[in-house]
């Protein structure tokens, strides 16, 4: 059995984590769930959005599955997602985007995996006011050789492990010559160690255009923190949205898997929440634990429901069903 820290989160998090754990348990996944709290609800009840008990549980068990958390915009406590990534040095944010059966999208045949550096760049929130009148603010982007080598190597190693053919490095080295210039330089150096993998680099604005003109040309993509945050959501949009794409945050000795969509408090408790994104994140977790057969059984069951039992699916993916009907349809296939 694997001990996994389960953080249901806020809003619809409670419903979709229940759905996902039910599906994994039905499939016979060897998981012992250790439930912990974080987010806005924890802050209201316990006075902190990230209790020490939750941090200690992740330190002990090293694997976590996390539902969506509510982060205040512009004020309040800092993003728990960012805090956990930095605390456990989860430097690889991995976001697959694959076309799914019977999901409405103008694009077919999309199958790309985004590797985003998770601990540095502009996204880390190193900001300060210049002067005392709060009329001039500055942010600092940090790029180091060590962090760049880790994420770029992780992307190439993933390509080797999963039979991928190409790695595309995304940068803005024509303008940000020192920070993303360093990232690009290191990418070129590492690519020489993987001659069997095609390597290309693209400037981020061209990359965004190419992704909507011809997304099928991309395979594995690696980029810096802020660019990856934006492009990974764009990639999700190509295949149906954040509700159908999973995410992993992986370091050298710990990993956290999460749904990256919001906590959707407006539909919480109404049975409308779609658990697919968190479920696909959980399948990435099973693969991380090398439970490949169980992950593939569940994925096949999801595809069958999407294709042949659309009425059981939640409304956001074209069905007439509820969280429970979708979950039960998947479980029925697994039991059969």
63-66 and 2-7: which strand pairing?
parallel
Q: Which residue shows structure tokens 């080295």?
A: 173
| Residue 65 CB neighbour total at 10 angstroms | 25
Angstrom CA distances, 160 to 99, 193, 217, 257, stand at 22, 12, 18, 22
SS3 35: strand
- Catalytic residue at 205? yes
Of residues 223, 249, 290, the one with CA closest to residue 84:
249
162 labelled catalytic = no
Retrieve residue 233's tokens. Answer: 């959501």
Neighbours of 126 (CB within 10 A): 13
Helix ranges, 162-224 (H): 179-191, 204-213
18 is catalytic: no
Per DSSP bridges, beta strands 127-129 and 137-139 are: antiparallel
Tell me, what DSSP letter sits at residue 321?
A: B
> Residue 6: what are its φ and ψ, rounded to 5°?
-110, 120
Task: Determine whether 218 is exposed, middle or buried from the number of CB atoms within 10 Å of its CB (0-12, 13-18, 19+).
Answer: buried
Please tell me which residue in 123, 158, 312, 326 is annotated as part of the active site.
Answer: 123
d(C-alpha 93, C-alpha 147), whole Å = 13
User: What does the DSSP 8-state code read for residue 215?
Assistant: G
Catalytic residue among 172, 201, 312, 326: 172
Which residue out of 91, 150, 158, 229 is catalytically annotated? 229
List the catalytic residue out of 44, 205, 266, 311. Answer: 205
311 classed as catalytic: no
Active site residues: 123, 172, 205, 229
């Amino acid at each position: 059995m694997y001990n996994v820290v389960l953080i249901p989160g806020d809003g619809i998090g409670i419903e979709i984590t229940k759905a996902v754990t039910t599906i994994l348990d039905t499939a016979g996944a060897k998981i012992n769930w250790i439930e912990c709290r974080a987010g806005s609800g924890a802050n209201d009840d316990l006075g902190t959005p990230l209790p020490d008990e939750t941090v200690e549980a992740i330190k002990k068990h090293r694997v976590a599955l996390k539902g969506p958390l509510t982060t205040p915009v512009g004020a309040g406590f800092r993003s728990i997602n960012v805090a956990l990534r930095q605390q456990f040095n989860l430097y690889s944010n991995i976001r697959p985007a694959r076309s799914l059966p019977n999901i409405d999208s103008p694009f077919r045949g999309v199958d790309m995996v985004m590797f985003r550096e998770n601990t540095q760049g502009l996204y880390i929130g190193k900001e300060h006011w210049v002067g005392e009148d709060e009329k001039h603010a500055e942010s600092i982007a940090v790029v180091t050789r060590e962090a760049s080598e880790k994420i770029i190597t992780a992307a190439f190693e993933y390509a080797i492990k999963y039979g991928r053919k190409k790695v595309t490095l995304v940068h803005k080295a024509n303008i940000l010559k020192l920070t993303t210039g360093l990232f690009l330089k290191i990418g070129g150096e590492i690519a020489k160690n993987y001659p069997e993998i095609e390597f290309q680099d693209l400037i981020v604005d061209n990359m965004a255009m190419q992704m909507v003109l011809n997304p099928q040309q991309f395979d594995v993509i690696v980029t810096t923190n802020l660019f990856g945050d934006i492009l990974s959501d764009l990639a999700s949009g190509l295949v149906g949205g954040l509700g159908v794409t999973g995410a992993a945050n992986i370091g050298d000795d710990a990993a956290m898997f999460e749904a990256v969509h919001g906590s959707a408090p407006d539909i919480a408790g109404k049975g409308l929440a779609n658990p697919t994104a968190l479920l696909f994140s959980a399948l990435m977790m099973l693969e991380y634990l090398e439970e490949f057969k169980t992950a593939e059984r569940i994925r096949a069951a999801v595809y069958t429901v999407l294709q042949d039992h659309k009425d059981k699916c939640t409304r956001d993916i074209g069905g007439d069903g509820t969280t429970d009907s979708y979950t039960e349809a998947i479980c029925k296939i697994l039991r059969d």
